Each structure stands twice: as structure tokens, then as C-alpha cells.
Amino acid sequence: MPFPDVVTPAARAALADVRFTPYWLDQPSRPAARPALVGDVEADLVVIGGGLSGLWTAYEARRRFPDWSVILLEGQRIAEAASGRNGGFVAASLTHGLPNGMSRWPGEMPELLRLGQANLDGIVSVVEAEGIDCDLVRSGELDVAVDGYQVADLREMVEAAGALGLDYEFLDRDAVRSMVDSPTYHAGVLDRRGVVMVDPARLSWGLASAAERAGVVIHEQTRVTDLGRAGTGMVVTTDFGSVRAGRVALATSAFPPLLRRLGHYVVPVYDSVLMTEPLTPEQRASIGWQDRIGIGDAGNQFHYYRITHDGRILWGGYDASYYGGFNPMHERQGAPFARLSEHFRYTFPQLEGLRFTHAWAGAIDTCSRFSAFWGTAYDGRLSYSLGFTGLGVGASRFGAQVMLDLLSGESTERTRLEMVRTKPIPFPPEPIRGIGIGITRRAIDKADRNEGRRNIWLRTLDRIGLGFDS
Ligand SMILES: Cc1cc2nc3c(=O)[nH]c(=O)nc-3n(C[C@H](O)[C@H](O)[C@H](O)COP(=O)(O)OP(=O)(O)OC[C@H]3O[C@@H](n4cnc5c(N)ncnc54)[C@H](O)[C@@H]3O)c2cc1C
């Protein structure tokens, strides 16, 4: 059965006390802001953006090139944007999931899976070695069919995964409901190895401290306003200063791009999240969800949900909203929150009366192939990594390593990948872009309400490899 369209008064009432701020950033352990850059300085590498992409780049740069001096500039606060607003699912997948990877790079999938798992293991190693307190749990992920037609899709996914050596497990209705009990579940697929859960803000803060210990200089509240060539290097201009640097790594995600060409490839899509109050032991028992496994449902528009260390449920996703551009005002749109609240009641009727404490949204750097892309500019002095489309908590470390490969001019197993060498199909300019995304979103919604049947518009987009997702 599709998720309900109508929002009931009970679903609205559950939102009455929310704070419109990301739960992850609303913690006493949030570090104070580091001082802004004031004046003109020099470095071998300047990293722009203090989300996970930029932080991994700075941290890995000092480990790989100990001679390089590294400065990171963050326009707001560390993890203020997507990196402190996400679900905290750290996936091995570099390709926004198996089906997307198989449809785009079938020949490369064994290598992409190997590199992805190595990347995830590398993240866990750094968290352990640096003592980063980010509530990392080797939880795995459960994908659930919430409509009858999705069962066959899940079975197909298990078969395809098996052929690639992945150990996914198919669960029938009883088996899945014995793990987590929702009347909406028809079946599930369990991936125990390929996903871990974190508190993403604490991962970012811990990584920032680890980068500093490794010698990186971080400036927060330091917006880069311009960049260009200077002699054999680059100059990066900020509100109150500048950095002259040999190399620049651009990790600004869905924000207005400092490199104009990137605006053709990435659109800011807003994704919304709710956090419940902590569940009582009785409430937790009523849904049978005893461990910390992350859950995603299997529609085109999907929810993701997980349990926090203090027993709350994070519940996000479904609406991927494009409002025509980047603007923090879009983080406060009420309709997606109300819809999420209704869908939560529908999924867990046992939790009637549970209230939400936090509601927030964040911009996702959506590109038409749903997975990151890379490139260089200014004769190789600048590299960029973006387009993670909602699955970048883990992949950002891989993306950072590719940026460093490109800046150092080294040919590596990463830079030889077709996925790394190619770019997504660009989005058309406005107003066609907005009209096209609107038609696509409506078609996806219709498909989700019609047993997944994709109409001619979606099938045409599929054929040319152009998509829209979050
Ligand atoms: C609601 C939501 C849920 C998500 N859930 C998941 C999930 O569960 N799992 C997953 O893998 N991924 C998820 N993602 C995606 C994931 O959060 C990101 O892909 C990942 O954190 C990498 O982010 P980033 O560093 O590339 O971008 P960001 O975290 O957005 O960082 C970019 C930074 O650049 C800074 N910046 C921009 N322009 C400038 C400038 N001119 N000067 C200085 N600084 C600048 C910004 O202030 C920002 O801090 C989610 C995203 C959102 C929004």
C-alpha cells in the first residue's frame, strides 16, 4: 500500500514541540567556533568546505603529503550543512546503492565494491585510531518492501548481490517483522557488513580535531568569495583575508559553486528529517526493534530511519524537494515535516502519541547519476568532488582521496575508474530544469502509487541515464 497522502491532526500534533534545528548539532559537546581567517596567508593546499568531504581531504592530505601545509576554510561552522544534518548511515556503496551502480558501471562493479568496502573499513580504522567518539555502531542495514510489488525487486537485488560476492540475506514477512515490527512490511533484505551508523556531527568534529593534530589549520566563519590564478598557484579570497596556495580542493557540495561550470551538474535538493523523543522500554518493545540496525524502505521515494544512542528514532527522507535554487529558508518548509510525521504513524501505529523533538532539512548535492564526480580546473591546480546525492557520509572519504590523486597528478586505481573519469549528464538550464524536475517528481510519485510502474517519461530518462533522486 502506498504511504498516505492526507496529513491527520494527530500527525500535526506530534510536531507541536519541535525545535527547528538538527538534533546532531543541538548537543552540549558541540565545539566552539575556531577563529575566522583575518589577513593574508600562504599554504601548499587550501581546502574549501568544512563538511566531511573537506575534512577528509585535509586530514588525508597531511597523512599522505606530510610536507604540505594545509588550511581548511569553512564559511559557517564545521558540519553546519549536510554533514551535520544527515541520517548517519555510513555505507560502503560508492554508487548510491547497488542497482544504480550496476546500471551505470556494470563492468566496474567488482572493483567499486572492493574499493567501497575498503573505504568503509578505512573510516572505521581512523575513528578507532584517532579515538573519535561518534557512537559508531556496526549495525548493518535492512531494506524493507512496503508494497507487494517491491518484494520481487528485493529478491532480484539479493540475487544480483550474490553474483557479485555480497552476502545479502532475503527475509520474508515473518522474519523481517520479528526484527522490527511494522504492519507495512512485506519482506526485507539484510546487509550486515556494508553499513555502519554514526553520529555524523560528532564524526565531523572529531575528524576536525584529528586534522588539527595532524597539522591542519582550520578557520570557521570564513566564506570564500572568489578564487583565481596567482603566479604558478592560486589565490583564494575570503571576507577578511586571502590564502595563496599551490593547490585548491573544492568541497562545497550543494552550495552556490565557486566554479561556474559545476552549476550545470548539481542541483540543491532539500531532504527533511524528524527526531522523536526517546522511546520508553515498553514503546521499544512494542516495535521489537532491539538493536541499532538502520532501515530504508524500497520505494522510489524512500524513508530512512535508525535508533540513536539515547533510544530516539530518526525518521527522514521521502520528499526530495527542489525549490529552484539554494537558500537556507528552504530548510523550514512545513509540508515535508507534516508528511513525514503522518508516514511515521502509518509505519508504527504502536507508537501513537510519541512526539517529535527536532525537525530539520538540508541541501543534498543531487546530480543526474546519483553518485559523486570529480574534475580539475586551472590547469590541475584545483580539484573538486561533489554530486553524492544523499549517500556521501562514507563516500566522501573516497572522494577526498580522488581529489588528492588529481592534485598530485598521480595515476591510481581510483583515477583509472570509468566512474571517476566520466561526468554526469548536465541538467538543462532554468526554467527547463525546474519544469523537468517537477514532471519527474510527479512521475516518480505516480509510480510509487502504481506498483512501481514507470511511465514513458521515466523510461526515457532511464534510457539516457538521466535521473532525479535524493
Ligand atoms: C538531510 C540529509 C540526510 C542525509 N543522509 C545521509 C545518510 O544517512 N548517509 C549518507 O551517506 N549521506 C547522507 N546525506 C548526504 C551527506 O550528508 C553528504 O553527502 C556528506 O555529509 C558529505 O558532505 P559534504 O562535505 O560534501 O557537504 P557539506 O556537509 O554540505 O559541506 C559543504 C561545506 O562547504 C561550505 N561552503 C560552501 N561554500 C563555501 C564557501 N564559498 N566558502 C567557505 N565554505 C563554503 C559549507 O558551509 C559546508 O559546510 C544526507 C544529506 C542530507 C542533507
The residue-averaged pLDDT of 209-215 equals: 98
The segment with the largest mean pLDDT, out of 26-40, 432-446, 447-461, is: 26-40
Note the pTM of the prediction, 2 decimals: 0.97
Residue 448 is predicted with a pLDDT of 85
Please say if the pLDDT value at position 453 is more than 90: no
Atom 46 (ligand 1) nearest CA: 49
- Residue % of the chain over a pLDDT of 70: 100
Is the CB–ligand 1 distance for residue 88 below 6 Å? Answer: yes
252 lines ligand 1 (CB under 6 A): yes
Task: Give the residue with greater pLDDT, 247 vs 459.
Answer: 247
Which of 222, 253, 265 to mutate to test ligand 1, by most ligand atoms within 8 A of the CB atom? 253
- In this prediction, residues 275-293 reach a mean pLDDT of 97
pLDDT band at residue 459 using 50, 70 and 90 as cut-offs: confident
Is the pLDDT reported for residue 1 higher than 80? no
Question: How far is the centre of ligand 1, averaged over its atoms, from the C-alpha of 53 (Å)?
Answer: 8
Could you tell me if the CB of 253 is within 6 A of ligand 1?
A: yes
| 81 Cβ below 6 A of ligand 1 | yes
pLDDT for 69 equals 98
Least confident of 44-53, 411-420, 430-439: 430-439
For residue 185, pLDDT over 80 is answered with: yes
Mutate which of 20, 83, 383, 385 for ligand 1? The one with the most ligand atoms within 8 Å of its CB, which is: 83
CA gap 298, 182 in Å, rounded: 14
Q: How confident is the model at residue 320 (pLDDT cuts 50, 70, 90)?
A: confident
Choose the weakest-confidence range: 22-31, 84-93, 208-217, 461-470.
461-470
In contact, 243 and 378? CB cutoff 8 Å: no
**Cα-to-centroid distance, 81 and ligand 1 (Å):** 5
What is the atom index within ligand 1 of the atom nearest the CA of 395?
11
CA-nearest residue, atom 37 of ligand 1: 252
Residue 169 pLDDT > 80:
yes
Average pLDDT over residues 259-270: 96
> Quick check: 358 pLDDT over 80?
yes
Tell whether ligand 1 has an atom less than 6 A from the beta carbon of residue 53.
yes
Q: What is the pLDDT of residue 106?
A: 95
**Confidence (pLDDT) at 449:** 85
Task: Report pLDDT for 363.
Answer: 97
319 alpha carbon to ligand 1 midpoint, in Å? 18
pLDDT band, very low/low/confident/very high, at 452 (cuts 50, 70, 90): confident
Say whether pLDDT at 467 is over 80. no
- Identify whether the C-beta of residue 387 lies closer than 8 Å to the C-beta of residue 266: yes
Q: pLDDT value at position 68?
A: 98
pLDDT of 275 reads 98
Query: For residue 465, what pLDDT is reported?
Result: 81
Q: Is the CB of 385 under 6 A from ligand 1?
A: no
The pLDDT mean for the chain works out to 96
- The whole-number average pLDDT for the span 6-21 is 97
Q: Determine the average pLDDT of the residues in 335-339.
A: 95
Centre of ligand 1 from the C-alpha of residue 150, in Å: 30
Confidence class for position 398, pLDDT limits 50, 70, 90: very high
In percent, how much of the chain has pLDDT > 90?
89
Is the Cβ atom of 89 under 6 angstroms away from ligand 1? yes
